[in-house]
Amino acid sequence: MKTLFVTGAEGFTGKHLVEYLGRRGYDVIGGVRNRARKLAFERQYGKALVCDVSDAINVARAVASVKPDGIIHLAGTSQPHAANAEPLAAYQSIVTGWANVVDAVRRVVPRARVLLASACEVYGNAGADGRPLNEDTPLAPTNTFGSLKATAESIARTFFLNYHTNITVVRPFHYTGTGQSEYFFFGAVAKRLAEWNSSTHGDDLQLPDLDFKRDLLHVVGKFLEFFVEESCGYCTPCRVGNVLLRDRLSDVRAGKGTPADLEYLGHFHGLMGVELISRISLPVDLEHALPPHVAFRECLGDQPIARTDAAVRQTI
């Protein structure tokens, strides 16, 4: 019986994979982040070891203890917004984590096969011209998460070329299933469906906004809400101006806008458009924040909007 070591086994994908591999007859040991998670994991899924992938010694000891025939590395930050919020922690869990795992394999079990889970975000804007993506498509990440995954892939390639480590990298696109966290889109939809009760919530089930053509106004509105809440209150532009802009934009998004609103908001276009969001380090250029693919355009019947003034004009 072959032994497989799965890092990040307590995560959404890890739990499903451990159960699947067990049914296929493999001896599976899960790698989890700490002792509390180890105890919880063992009660439901089987054998586990503490394996903090950001700790090289911990990883090496775990691999040496298991001596697996194969390692499936799933551990690490899996949410782009989390990587953007905490880039150093994401670097340690993604880039350092990959390096620690493949180096432990090189030192302890050099003949073991290694499967490393990257992400579709490494492609970024590579498919903007409508051509299909494949393994040879040059990577063009547009956010922190994608950039870190691409960096981790370059490390894996180094070990493959220089140390002949048996490495396979996968780049899964978005998927869902039972037990997915509400921090993911489909998980959030499932949670809202599960908690909806017509007797208390009425017959109008509110799901997350799927109208991507309005998404830019939503983004700007969220930034304005942030500035309103975080304003120190010492200067009038922050204390009063952000509130006025937020309220005016809220009326537009609610369908109460007038042509006068376009002129009013136009005075602030330099602060509300791409310039504002680039100043505060949004990791995605707004020109590419909305899916530009052919299938998306055909589905909606026209081009996505990527300018604030155009979004406001169409809304009113």
* CATH tag, 212-315: 1.20.1440
Distance CA(68)–CA(98), nearest Å, equals 17
User: What is residue 133's DSSP assignment?
Assistant: P
Average pLDDT over every residue of 109-119: 96
Q: What is the pLDDT, as a whole number, of residue 278?
A: 39
pLDDT tens for each residue of 156-202: 999 999 999 999 999 998 888 888 887 777 777 777 777 777 777 66
Enter the tokens of residue 51: 């394996």
Distance CA(119)–CA(100), nearest Å, equals 19
Determine which helix (DSSP H) or strand (DSSP E) holds 29, and give its type and residue range: strand 27-32
What phi and psi values does residue 85 have, to the nearest 5 degrees? -70, -40
Distance CA(283)–CA(106), nearest Å, equals 34
Write down the domain spans for the chain: 3-170, 212-315
Looking at the predicted structure, is the pLDDT value of residue 81 above 80? yes
Confidence of residue 277 (pLDDT cuts 50, 70, 90): very low
Q: How many CA atoms lie within 13 A of 265 on its CB side?
A: 29
Q: What is the pLDDT, as a whole number, of residue 259?
A: 73
What phi and psi values does residue 29 have, to the nearest 5 degrees? -120, 125
Distance CA(168)–CA(71), nearest Å, equals 10
- Indicate the pTM of the whole model: 0.65
Enter the tokens of residue 82: 């989390």
Confidence of residue 286 (pLDDT cuts 50, 70, 90): very low
The answer to whether 3-170 and 212-315 have equal CATH topology is no
Q: Which residue has the higher pLDDT, 263 or 49?
A: 49
User: 167 pairs with which residues across the strands?
Assistant: 114
CATH topology assigned to domain 3-170:
Rossmann fold (3.40.50)
Q: What is the pLDDT, as a whole number, of residue 123?
A: 93
What phi and psi values does residue 146 have, to the nearest 5 degrees? -60, -40
3-class SS string, 251-292: HHHCCCCCHHHHHHHHCCHHHHCHHHHHHCCCCCCHHHCCCC
Confidence of residue 274 (pLDDT cuts 50, 70, 90): very low
pLDDT tens for each residue of 59-75: 999 999 999 999 999 99
